Amino acid sequence: MRILISADMEGATGVTWTDDVVPGTEQWQRFRRLFTGDVNAVVRGLHAGGASDVLVNEAHSSQRNLLLEDLDDRARLLTGRHKPLSMMQGIDSGVDGVVFLGYHAGAGADGVLSHTYLENQITGVWLDEVPASEGRLNAALAAEHGVPVLLVSGDDRTCEDAADYAPGAQLVAVKECVSRYAAICLPPSRTAEMLSAAARASMDRAVRAPGAAAAHRIEVEFDASHLAQAAAVVPTVEQTGVRRVGFDAASMTEAMKAFKVVTAIAAGAVQGKYG
C-alpha cells in the first residue's frame, strides 16, 4: 500500500497567524517542528494500518518547511518548488490513497488563515460552479487518478468543507476557528494521538480505482480589476467580470496546471501596498 501525504502548513497544530507560516520568521522556525510532528503522527498511523510506503509532498509556500532530520525514517520527502502538479505532485505515481494534512478553508470562507493559493488577492474560486477550497480542487484531481482521499486535517471549518468534497475521509480538527487569526488549539500530544488514530483507521479505504478524465471549469475572483486583466492574457482564460476570470479544461490535471499559471501571473501583478 503506497500513500501520498499532501502537507500544507496553515492547518497544522497550533498555527494561527501569518508569522507562524512565513519562512524566515522566528515563529516559523518554531512551527516547523510542530508541522513535522503532525506529519510523523500520520506516518505512524498509516504504517500501523498497513502502509508500506509513504511519500510526503511539501505543499506550503517555499515547499521547504518540514525538518528532514526529524522526519519518521519510514517516510520519503518530496521537497522544493516548481513541481508540475504542485500540492499534488505524486498523485499520478500509482499511490493507493492521499492524505490532506494541515489544510485550511478556501478564499472567501471563514477559517484560520483561509485562502486559495494566493494569501489575500483571491476572494473566491469555483470548480464547476461550486465554491472550491484547495482541498476541493485537489480532491477532484485525486479522483481523476482514482485515488481516494483518506484523511483531512486542519481547523473545524476545514473539516466541515472536507465532509462535503471527501465524505468518506477521516476528519481531524486540530483547532477550532475563532477568527482568521485566532483559534482554540489542542496541544501536540493530543493532536498526535488523534492524527495517528485517524490515519490508521483511514487505511481501510486505501484502494485505488480506475481513473477517468473529464472536462472542468474553474472561475477565479480577485480583489482588484487589474489582476483579472493580467490573468486574462493567458490563452483560454477569459475575463468574465470586472474582477473575475474563467477557463475550461479537458481534464482536472490540465485545469490545475492552468490555475497555477493564472495565480502566478496575478501574484506578479501585485504592486506594493495597493495590491
Provide the annotated active-site residues.
Answer: 115
Smallest CA-to-CA distance from 185 within 50, 52, 31 is with 31
Centroid of chain to Cα 72? 21
Smallest CA-to-CA distance from 215 within 245, 244, 258 is with 258
Helices (H) and strands (E) in the chain, counts: 6, 12
Phi-psi region of 129 (alpha: psi -120 to 50; beta: other; left: phi over 0): left
What CA dihedral angle connects 244, 249, 251 and 257, to 10 degrees? -60
Q: Which amino acid is at 5?
A: I
Q: Which three cell numbers stand for residue 17?
A: 497567524
Could you list the residues known to form a binding site for Zn(2+), using ranges.
8, 10, 60, 104, 134
Could you list the residues known to form a binding site, using ranges.
8, 10, 60, 104, 134
CB 194 within 8 A of CB 100: no
The owner of cell 478524465 is 213
